[in-house]
Structure 1
């Protein structure tokens, strides 16, 4: 992508975000994806190619950091039980159940092994509610649902990468599966990333006291967002969780003091611009990239897979809230329905698809097409349906 192309995409994103201020219930990412699909037929933009490295190392760190930093620490502590369960055990259950169901129903549509079904399920489990959180808060008047949805998304991105990596190794016959090795890798990657994020987030919260220059303090936050991500990845632990917990730790530390209010204002202003810019580029690029994966022949099964993913997610969420008495009182079936519908697919799923394509694309064109088409269906239908559904149920 050239500098000129990037500037044009940013300008288009600016126009759409300006429009969204007038139509607050229309999610910006959905509009951007449609525009990106249309722009892919223009020769000037069709040459743009999106890679997994671009999404993972350029776009994800700032988006993860700003979401984590803004997440209310008191709400995280209040809902930590259900957030952690859904983002860990909930994902494992979802991948297992959804993968088996997809494998069972895939016969008339494509040749798919059980591992292939599980791999597809792992691609579809990470949630990306960035386009609907603000709509949820406005339409329901209750931030509890939005906090659970956003909190789950922050953690499950890291979990999904570990599960996907293990299943990809099995799918490509590069490794054998054992429960002990999977659990040890999962714990090492997850806990290692979490520990690094907490440590560096705490260090930054203390480090800003040594300078009263707001610009330097904001520069330090950039170093933290990208630095901790790459340090963690270089050490073989989760960069996603490291960045998330660095942001959460920073939010927690500044929630306890008013000493650095001027810093928080500068940080909010800077990262708001970065977030809008990154979202503009990311979803336009997803739309441009999606066209080469779309196949009409697989559209019907992609819709079936989307419906199945919603059913399995609803079962997991309602089952979770029914088993634990404390959670049952907090979340009704109506709220479970909203949480289910709000867990749409997005940037992390696209990264996993591109990672699969880069490592093992030959002979898997239909599986890639099915994955990308299902993600697009989820992104479009769920983001458009959040407002009317939440208004009807709550």
Structure 2
């Protein structure tokens, strides 16, 4: 996956460097490329499409000036708009699948699964703490300074939402996986996304203010 993504990133940078101030062409190229890479990696090569896209994105971000200067602002706006609508679509589709799977039909989900979801939610935060503690010296070594307050915010406001739902939707639609396992994956991931959005999402602003980071204060 990463090797394929890196190769695609190198080729994409070379192609984009040869295109100069072509707004429609450059935006269409990046949109089409993202979907093409995902399809080829997942359906044709059988490798991780997500890792391929992430690797390609990281490489292209390093050489972001392959995008024409006059196009960068418009392209960023186009991608933000697309991301907004895609997020809406992802949450809508997930809600429909959840409703179809668990409402009015027999299900293997029990009250214990709600408790397991809470335990998983707590374990995810513990995992974030361990990850930040382990990687903090490496980040400092690369020149990225994070105070303990920054680390707290980083742990509390970690990634959540659409990416997790995309991955679990892929699992839920894979008929080669046992339906019971698919339902549990879908339920637990959806619960964790819900908990992080409701708890972490609504309280992150308060945490930032509590730590004094909204004034740019560092210890």
**Normalised by the size of structure 1, how large is the TM-score?**
0.44
Following superposition, the deviation at residue 351 of structure 1 comes to 3.4
1:300 aligns with 115
Match of 1:229 in 2: 38
Tell me the residue number matched to 2:106.
Answer: none
Aligned match of 1:370: 188
Shift of 1:324: 7.5
C-alpha offsets along residues 226-273 of structure 1, whole Å, 9 cap, x if unaligned? 223333332344433333344444444343x7x922222332333232
Provide closer, same or farther for how the CA distance between residues 308 and 327 of structure 1 changes in structure 2, counting only shifts above 3 A.
farther
Residue 196 and residue 370 in structure 1: after superposition, are their counterparts in 2 closer, same or farther (change >3 A)?
Answer: same
Task: Pick the aligned partner of 2:133 from 294, 315, 318.
Answer: 318
**Partners of 1:350 and 1:338 in 2: how far apart?**
23
Residue deviations 1:304-334 (CA, integer Å, cap 9, x gap): 2211221222122123325876379822332
Question: CA, structure 1 residues 269+337, in 2 after alignment: closer, same or farther (shift >3 Å)?
Answer: closer
Could you say if the C-alpha distance between residues 368 and 215 of structure 1 is closer, same or farther in structure 2, counting changes exceeding 3 Å?
closer
Distance 1:367-1:321 versus aligned 2 partners, 3 A rule: same
Alignment of 1:168-187 (within 5 A): none
Check whether the contact 2:6–2:56 (CA below 8 A) recurs between aligned residues: no
Q: 1:207 to 1:240 in 2, by over 3 A?
A: farther
Shift of the alpha carbon at 1:336?
1.8
Residues 319 and 236 of structure 1: CA distance in aligned 2, closer, same or farther (over 3 Å): same
Other-structure match for 1:361: 178
Distance change in 2, residues 1:227/1:345 (3 Å): same
What is the match of residue 76 of structure 2? 268
Distance (whole Å) between structure 1 residues aligned to residue 143 and residue 134 of structure 2: 10
Secondary structure at the aligned position of 2:18 is classed as helix
Tell me how far apart the structure 2 counterparts of residues 202 and 379 of structure 1 sit (CA, whole Å). Answer: 36
Does the 8 A contact of 1:317 with 1:336 survive in 2?
A: yes
Question: Residues 200 and 230 of structure 1: is their aligned pair in 2 closer, same or farther, counting only changes over 3 Å?
Answer: farther
Aligned to 2:217: none
Distance 1:306 1:391 in 2: 24
The normalised TM-score by structure 2 is: 0.73
- Equivalent pair of 1:228/1:239 in contact (CA under 8 Å): yes
Q: Is the 8 A contact 2:121 2:195 kept in 1?
A: yes
Whole-angstrom distance in 1 between the partners of 2:134 and 2:51: 26
Following the alignment from structure 1 to structure 2, what is the Cα–Cα distance between the partners of residues 244 and 368? 23
The 1:293/1:332 distance shift into structure 2, 3 A limit, reads: farther
Q: Are 2:206 and 1:388 aligned?
A: yes
Query: 1:326 and 1:213 mapped to 2: Cα distance?
Result: 39
Q: Which residue of 2 aligns with 1:20?
A: none
Partner of 2:19: helix, strand, or coil? Answer: helix
Aligned partners of 2:194, 2:27: CA distance in 1, in Å? 35
Q: Which residue of the partner structure matches residue 281 of structure 1? A: 89
Write out aligned runs for 1:166-245 (5 A): 189-190=1-2, 192-209=3-20, 212-233=21-42, 234-245=44-55
Greater displacement, 339-348 / 233-242: 233-242
Structure-2 change in CA distance of 1:277 and 1:374 (3 Å) = closer
Asked which structure has the greater RCO (Cα within 8 Å, sep 6+), the reply is 1
Structure 2 gap segments, 5+ residues each: 104-108, 214-219
Aligned residue pairs, count? 201
